[in-house]
């Protein structure tokens, strides 16, 4: 019997340290099911996670966490039950990957000017098959002795307002929500208490967002209460998870925050409904 669901997890296909198979194995050990693999801006880890899920009896929901910008806010929009092979989704993610690479190249140039001469190839090697991000730049800064820790690399160089910061790339919120909708998925606003994202919610609801991440390690008991009330008022699906990035990342672990099974069942029902109605 599962302890609950964890619907926000990262693997080595974005900035997590575990492979999708290792993520599933951890979930099995923690008796967490279903889980959703929600890598940043990529769906490439999903087939491996689904296969491992079958082998280890963990229900795996195909997901993605899309980067979006709207009215000066950087927000993350999660898609659950996405048809990850949908050509439009794949094309859009490929185009975003190119823009991410250009951005990281710009960050590397700035770091070189600041006396930290790292090279793009080293960052690409750390990112491997994953979505390249500032986190990988931070890892290279640490491994080459230019920063004492990942968080110090952000504090000194990479965070907004710091000298090597370059504006993030991503979709507009409407494009992110529509992309998930086209792929028959359920969209939800991730960690709404971060970067004043909650203030965007009425706008996102108008744009068709379907859910709200109520359970997240950054949320207090009071946050959960406020967000659950908001979700009920606006008829949004309640979702949540640990946002785990794996080992040695300083963040939450798999299964640390679980979504009550009732809400996981609601999301599954909604996913089934979307698929049934789209087949007609």
Which residue(s) pair with 213 in the sheet? Answer: 239
State which residue, 151 or 172, has the beta carbon closest to ligand AMP.
151
Residue 213 binds to Mn ion (criterion: CB under 5 A): no
Residue 217 binds to ligand AMP (criterion: CB under 6 A): no
Closest contact distance (angstroms) between CB of 200 and Mn ion is 14
Residues 4, 9, 15, 154: which binds Mn ion (CB under 5 A)?
15
Residue 150 binds to ligand AMP (criterion: CB under 6 A): yes
What three-state secondary structure class fits 239?
Answer: strand
Residue 219 binds to ligand AMP (criterion: CB under 6 A): no
DSSP 76: E
Rg from Cα positions in the chain: 18
What three-state secondary structure class fits 271?
Answer: helix
Question: Among 84-92, 99-107, 177-185, 188-196, which window interacts with Mn ion (CB under 5 A)?
Answer: 188-196
Residue 15 binds to ligand AMP (criterion: CB under 6 A): yes
Contact status, residue 15 vs residue 41, Cβ threshold 8 Å: no
Closest contact distance (angstroms) between CB of 42 and Mn ion is 12
| Element housing 61 (H / E) | strand 60-70
First and final CA of the chain: distance in angstroms? 35
- Closest Cα partner for 9 from 71, 53, 57? 53
Question: Among 31-39, 42-50, 120-128, 132-140, which window interacts with ligand AMP (CB under 6 A)?
Answer: 132-140
Burial class (CB in 10 A: 0-12, 13-18, 19+), 262: exposed
Task: Determine if the peptide bond prior to 34 is cis (ω within 30°).
Answer: yes
Contact status, residue 62 vs residue 47, Cβ threshold 8 Å: no
Residue 70 binds to ligand AMP (criterion: CB under 6 A): no
Contact partner at residue 76 from Mn ion, ligand AMP, none, CB < 5 to 8 Å by partner kind: Mn ion
Closest contact distance (angstroms) between CB of 203 and Mn ion is 19
Residue 134 binds to ligand AMP (criterion: CB under 6 A): yes
Residue 95 binds to ligand AMP (criterion: CB under 6 A): no
DSSP 236: P
Q: CA 164 to CA 182: how far, in whole Å?
A: 36
Residue 76 binds to Mn ion (criterion: CB under 5 A): yes
State which residue, 48 or 65, has the beta carbon closest to Mn ion.
65
Query: Using CB under 5 A as the criterion, which residues of the chain lie in contact with Mn ion when the complex forms?
Result: 15, 65, 76, 190, 243
Query: Using CB under 6 A as the criterion, which residues of the chain lie in contact with ligand AMP when the complex forms?
Result: 15, 40, 67, 133-135, 150-151, 154, 159, 168
């Amino acid at each position: 019997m599962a302890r609950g669901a964890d619907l926000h997890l990262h693997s080595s296909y974005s900035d997590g340290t575990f492979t999708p198979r290792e993520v599933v194995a951890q979930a099995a050990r923690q008796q967490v099911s279903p889980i959703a693999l929600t890598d940043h801006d990529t769906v490439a880890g999903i087939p491996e996670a689904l296969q491992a899920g079958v082998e280890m009896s963990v229900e795996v929901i195909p997901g993605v966490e899309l980067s979006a910008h709207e009215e000066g806010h950087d927000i993350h929009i999660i898609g659950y039950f996405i048809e990850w092979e949908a050509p439009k989704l794949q094309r859009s993610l490929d185009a975003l990957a190119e823009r991410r690479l250009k951005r990281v190249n710009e960050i590397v140039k700035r770091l070189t000017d600041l006396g930290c001469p790292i090279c793009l190839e080293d960052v690409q090697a750390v990112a491997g098959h994953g979505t390249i991000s500032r986190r990988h730049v931070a890892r290279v800064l640490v491994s080459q002795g230019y920063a004492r820790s990942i968080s110090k690399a952000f504090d000194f160089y990479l965070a907004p307002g710091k000298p090597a910061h370059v504006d993030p790339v991503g979709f507009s919120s409407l494009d992110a929500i529509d992309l998930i909708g086209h792929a028959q998925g359920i969209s939800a606003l991730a960690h709404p208490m971060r970067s004043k994202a909650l203030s965007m919610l009425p706008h996102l609801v108008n744009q068709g967002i379907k859910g709200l991440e109520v359970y997240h390690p950054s949320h207090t008991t009071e946050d959960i209460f406020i967000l659950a009330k908001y979700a009920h008022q606006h008829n949004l699906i309640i979702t949540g998870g640990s946002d785990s990035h794996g080992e040695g990342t300083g963040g939450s672990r798999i299964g640390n925050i679980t979504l009550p099974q009732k809400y996981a069942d609601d999301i599954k029902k909604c996913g089934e409904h979307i698929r049934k109605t789209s087949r007609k």
